[in-house]
Chain A
Amino acid sequence: MIKSKALVRLTFLGAMIAWLILLFSDITVLFSSMQGLHPDVPVWLPRVMLAAYIIFLYYYYKFRIELDDSLNFTDLLWKVFATGLITTVVSLVFRLFVFMLGTTALATNIVFSDFICQINLALLVNFLLSALSSWKRLILYQKSKWLIRTWLLFEIILFAVLLYDSAGITFSETVSTTMNVIIGLLVLALAANMRWVAYLNFKQKWTSLLLLLLTFFYLAYFFYTVERSTEMISKETTAFLDYRTQLFIIVLASFIITYGIFSFLVILFNLPTSSVFEQKLEEVVNFQRISQSIQTEQDEESVYNILLESSVSSVFADAAWLEITGAKNDRRMFTYRVSEQESKNIREHLEKNNIKGVLDSGSEKTKNLSKHLGTMKGSRFRSLLAFPIVVKEETIGTLALLKELPEGFNKEMTRIVSTFANQAGISIENFRLMEEAFQNARYKEELKIAKTVQQSLLPNKLEQDKDFEIVAFSASADEVGGDYYDTLRINEHLVALIIADVSGKGTTAAFHMSQMKGIFHSLAQQLLDPKEFMQRANQALVYCLERGSFISASYFIIDTIEKKIRYSRAGHCPVLYLRAGSVESIYLKDKGAALGMVRSKDYCNYIENNEIPYGPGDTMVLYTDGITEAKDGKGEEFGNDRLAVALNEKAGASAKEIEDNIIKRLYEFSGSNNLNDDYTSMTVKFHG
Chain B
Amino acid sequence: MVHIKRLQESGSDIIAVIGEIDASSSIELDLAIAKSVGEGFKKILVDCNALEYISSAGLGVFMSYIEEFRDKNIQMVLYGLKEKVANTFEILGLADLLHIRENKSEALKLANELSV
Once bound together, how far apart are the Cα atoms of A594 and B63, in whole Å? Answer: 10
Interface residues on chain A, number (Cβ under 8 Å): 27
Within 8 A of B (CB), among A558-616: 570-574, 589, 591-594, 596-599, 606-607
Contact present for A574 and B57 (CB under 8 Å): no
B7 in the interface (beta carbon within 8 A) = no
Q: How far is the CA of A572 from the CA of B91 in the complex (A)?
A: 6
A591: chain B residues at CB < 8 Å are 93, 96
Main secondary structure of the interface of B (DSSP, over half): helix
Decide yes or no whether A550 CB sits under 8 A from chain B. yes
Q: Which of B60, B84, B94 contacts A548 (CB 8 A)?
A: B60
Find B57's partner among A503, A547, A573, A597 (CB 8 Å cutoff).
A503
B97, CB-defined interface residue at 8 Å = yes
- Write the chain B residue with the least CB distance to A594: B92
Cβ of A501 within 8 Å of any chain B Cβ, yes or no, is yes
B66 to chain A, nearest CB (A): 8
* Nearest residue, chain B, Cβ from A502: B56
A408 within 8 A of B: no
Among candidates B23, B63, B90, B96, residue contacting A550 with C-beta atoms closer than 8 Å: B63
Q: Is the CB of A573 within 8 A of B91?
A: yes
Residues of B with C-beta under 8 A to A598: 66, 97
Alpha-carbon gap, A550 to B57, bound state (A): 9
Contact check, A549 vs B23: say whether CB atoms are below 8 A apart. no
Which residues in A have their C-beta under 8 angstroms from that of B96? 591, 593, 606
> Do A552 and B92 form a contact, CB below 8 Å, given A593-B97, A598-B97?
yes
Closest to A597 in B: B63
Shortest beta-carbon distance from A379 to chain B in Å: 40
Are the C-beta atoms of B92 and A593 separated by less than 8 Å?
Answer: yes
The reply to whether the CB of A505 lies closer than 8 angstroms to some CB of chain B is: yes
A548-B63, A550-B63 are known contacts. Are A504 and B93 too (CB-CB below 8 A)? no
Contact A606 B60 (CB under 8 A): no
Q: Does B64 contact A (CB under 8 A)?
A: yes
- Whether A505 contacts B93 by the Cβ 8 Å rule is no
Select A571's contact among B30, B57, B67, B92, beta carbons within 8 Å.
B92
* Residue of A505, A549, A550, A596 ringed by the most chain B CB atoms within 10 A: A550
Residue in B23, B91, B97 whose beta carbon sits within 8 Å of that of A504 in the complex: B23
Closest to B93 in A: A593
| Cβ proximity bits B58-75 to A, threshold 8 Å, 1 near / 0 not | 011101101100000000
Residues of A contacting B92 with CB < 8 Å? Answer: 550, 552, 571, 593-594, 597
Nearest-Cβ distance from residue B32 to partner chain A, whole angstroms: 14
The minimal Cβ–Cβ distance linking B63 to chain A, given in whole angstroms, is 5
Q: What's the count of A-B pairs with C-beta under 8 Å?
A: 62
Q: Chain B residue with minimal CB distance to A570?
A: B93
Query: Would B93 and A548 count as touching, CB distance under 8 A?
Result: no
Contact, CB under 8 Å: B93 / A549 = no
A284-304 CB mask vs B (1 if < 8 Å, else 0) is 000000000000000000000
Q: Taking CB as reference atom, which chain B residue is nearest A545?
A: B60
Chain B residue contacts of A625, Cβ below 8 A: 56
CB distance from B100 to the nearest CB of A (A): 14
In the complex with contacts A504-B23, A505-B23, A572-B91, A550-B60 CB distance below 8 A: yes
CB of A504 within 8 A of CB of B57, answer: yes
Complex contacts, A550 vs chain B, CB 8 Å: 56, 59-60, 63, 92
Bitwise interface map of A from 77 to 107 toward B, beta carbon under 8 Å scored 1, else 0: 0000000000000000000000000000000
- Whether A597 pairs with B67 at a CB distance below 8 angstroms is no
| Complex alpha-carbon distance, A574 and B87, angstroms | 11
Cα distance, A142 to B92, chains bound together (Å): 81
A593/B94 in contact, CB under 8 A: yes
Chain B residues near A637 (CB-CB < 8 A): 84
Interface members, chain B 12-70 (any A CB < 8 Å) = 23, 30, 56-57, 59-61, 63-64, 66-67
- What distance in Å separates the Cβ of A326 from its nearest Cβ neighbour in chain B? 22
Neighbouring B residues of A503 by C-beta, 8 Å: 56-57, 59-60
Q: Which of A547, A571, A594, A607 contacts B64 (CB 8 A)?
A: A547
CA distance A550 to B97 in the complex (A): 14
For B93, list chain A residues within 8 Å (CB).
570-571, 591-594, 597, 606-607
CA distance A45 to B66 in the complex (A): 118
Please indicate the chain B residues that have their CB under 8 angstroms from the CB of A573 in the complex: 91
Tell me the smallest distance from the CB of A571 to a CB of chain B, in Å.
4
Complex interface residues of chain B between 57 and 115 (CB less than 8 A to chain A): 57, 59-61, 63-64, 66-67, 84, 90-94, 96-97
Q: Check A548/B23 contact, CB under 8 A, given A504-B57, A571-B92, A594-B92.
A: no
Q: List the A side residues contacting B66 at CB < 8 Å.
A: 597-598
Q: B63: which A residues are within 8 A, CB to CB?
A: 548, 550, 596-597
Residue of A nearest to B30 (CB): A548
Smallest CB gap from B96: residue in A: A606
- Provide the bound-state CA to CA distance between A548 and B64, in Å: 4
Chain A's nearest CB lies how many Å from the CB of B87?
Answer: 9
A590's nearest neighbour on chain B, judged by CB, is B93
Min Cβ gap B42→A in Å is: 21
B60 shortest CB reach to chain A, Å: 4
Most buried by A among B30, B63, B64, B94: B63
A597, B91: Cβ atoms closer than 8 Å: no
* Per-position 1/0 for A472-503, Cβ under 8 A of B: 00000000000000000000000000000101
Whether the Cβ atoms of B23 and A571 lie closer than 8 Å is no
Chain A contacts for B59, CB-based, 8 A:
503, 550
A-B pairs with the 6 shortest C-beta distances? A593-B93, A548-B64, A548-B60, A571-B92, A503-B56, A547-B64
B residues with a Cβ closer than 8 A to A are 23, 30, 56-57, 59-61, 63-64, 66-67, 84, 90-94, 96-97
Q: List 26 A-B contacts (CB under 8 A).
A: A503-B56, A503-B57, A504-B57, A505-B23, A548-B30, A548-B60, A548-B61, A549-B60, A550-B59, A550-B63, A552-B92, A571-B91, A571-B92, A571-B93, A572-B91, A593-B92, A593-B93, A593-B97, A594-B92, A594-B93, A594-B94, A597-B93, A597-B97, A598-B97, A599-B67, A607-B93
